[in-house]
């Protein structure tokens, strides 16, 4: 019997050149200073975000992320298409 691997976990770099049906990206920066560190490398974000065939899930602290112009535009787009949910909203649905 052939077992198919259904879940892959790795860094953005490990998925370069590959696609998946669903991609989940955690944007783990959260701090009062609004410093996003390595997330400011937009080329890496492009690699991660463009690998999803069907669904892209981004999880992060919007108050920290919105201090960077790229994420301001991304958040505006996601809100515009109805894809933005707060942690509070998600918790109510559970």
User: Which among 59, 53, 50, 54 is positioned nearest to 24, based on CA atoms?
Assistant: 59
Question: Is the separation of the CB atoms in 44 and 54 below 8 Å?
Answer: no
**Which stretch of 2-16, 37-51, 53-67, 78-92 has the lowest confidence by average pLDDT?**
2-16
* Ramachandran sector of residue 37 (left: φ over 0; alpha: ψ -120 to 50; beta: rest): left
List the domain boundaries for the chain: 24-93
The dihedral of CA 37, 78, 59, 22: what is its sign? negative
Q: What is the pLDDT of residue 21?
A: 87
> With 80 as the cut, is the pLDDT of residue 34 above it?
no
Task: Grade residue 54 by pLDDT with cuts at 50, 70 and 90.
Answer: very high
What predicted TM-score, i.e. pTM, was given to this entire model? 0.75
Q: What is the pLDDT of residue 3?
A: 57
């Amino acid at each position: 019997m052939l077992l198919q691997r259904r879940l892959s976990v790795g860094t953005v770099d490990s998925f370069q050149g590959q696609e998946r049906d669903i991609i989940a990206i955690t944007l783990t920066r959260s701090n009062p200073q609004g410093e996003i560190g390595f997330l400011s490398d937009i080329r890496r974000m492009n690699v991660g975000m463009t690998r999803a065939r069907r669904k892209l899930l981004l999880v992060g602290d919007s108050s920290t992320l919105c201090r960077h112009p790229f994420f301001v535009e991304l958040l505006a787009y996601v809100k515009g298409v109805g894809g933005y949910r707060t942690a509070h909203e998600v918790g109510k649905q559970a």
